[in-house]
Structure 1
């Protein structure tokens, strides 16, 4: 949920449909924080010469506005964690943060479902965390890849069907 993916005019803008998850993510954060949950904002952040740019256009370069949390989410308290690869666990201290927080479950939301979300979920599951992915709080560039990623996470990674603390979600569908 950073500027480079969520605001028009940037190389990897996920599109207007992706912006529709913003109010749902806001409600998710509010619900979880009210219940005592912690929020970790994972921010895609790259050096100017990052090898990822051989696969994807230049995006979220350190020192630009692109790796910043979108304005709609900046008011929420949370830990900001820069990452440079698909998984939020790769070369970050996320594992240490989670070990300290000892969550009963990890909820992953944001963009892109088929890239960063799915790789982070896989790494969390490989560390034996219970993981939830609220289906209306994730989005991607490609609706088919989005649906395939949700099915993969459900069937292969064993993520639980989303069970919200309160009933605010428009769709509890699991794929």
Structure 2
């Protein structure tokens, strides 16, 4: 029997509710993520927790500063965060791969990735994890549910188009793209 883990990437108040990078359109994935988490006991939340000195702040507006409301998991998913926060991993870059202990990758056979943003943090994590698995000659599944990931939309960033492109790039790299039903 396969042992699966779900990585919930950046489903934070600063991306879904308020802040420089918040977009309410991302909120539509929360009920689907909640359903996925109800079916999987192994869960890690990977959360932006920046300082104003992070290099990422030169590429994006200031967002999700450590210990602020923006860096907290949205209320509807808080029931899945362990009381001691032992299933929360903090990051200060767009690529979660480098912030997750490699022993976690060895412990599970299947990786389910949900959250935001499809074309930034999700894409970078999935592609890096896939390349690392290939490098180590480890045959494990990476699954992205297309209705449990989303990205923002603004005048310089067509959210629907970027979402589709990112999913296609991941699919072409051997990552399974599915729809949660």
| TMscore range, shorter length | 0.7 to 0.9
**Correspondence list, 1:22-171, <5 A:** 22-33=30-41, 38-77=42-81, 79-90=87-98, 92-99=99-106, 102-128=107-133, 129-141=140-152, 142-155=159-172, 157-162=173-178, 169=181
Q: More relative contact order in 1 or in 2 (CA 8 Å, sep 6+)?
A: 2
TM norm structure 2: 0.80
Structure 2: which 5+ runs fail to align? 1-10, 134-139, 153-158
Question: Cα deviation per residue 1:91-143 (whole Å; 9 max; x = unaligned)?
Answer: x23323232xx212101110000000000101211222420000000000111
**Contact conserved, 2:118 with 2:163, CA < 8 A, in 1?**
yes
Report the 3-state secondary structure (helix = DSSP H, G, I; strand = E; otherwise coil) of the residue aligned with 1:57. coil
Question: Cα deviation per residue 1:65-107 (whole Å; 9 max; x = unaligned)?
Answer: 11111111001145000011111122x23323232xx212101
Supply the distance in 2 between the matched residues of 1:83 and 1:41 (Cα, whole angstroms).
10
RMSD of Structure 2 on Structure 1 (CA): 1.5
1:12 maps to: 21
Q: Which structure shows the higher strand fraction? A: 2
TM norm structure 1: 0.83
Supply the distance in 2 between the matched residues of 1:3 and 1:87 (Cα, whole angstroms).
19
Structure 1: which 5+ runs fail to align? 170-175
Supply the distance in 2 between the matched residues of 1:51 and 1:21 (Cα, whole angstroms).
29
The structural deviation recorded for 1:17 is 2.0
**Contact conserved, 1:48 with 1:62, CA < 8 A, in 2?**
no
Report the 3-state secondary structure (helix = DSSP H, G, I; strand = E; otherwise coil) of the residue aligned with 1:66. helix
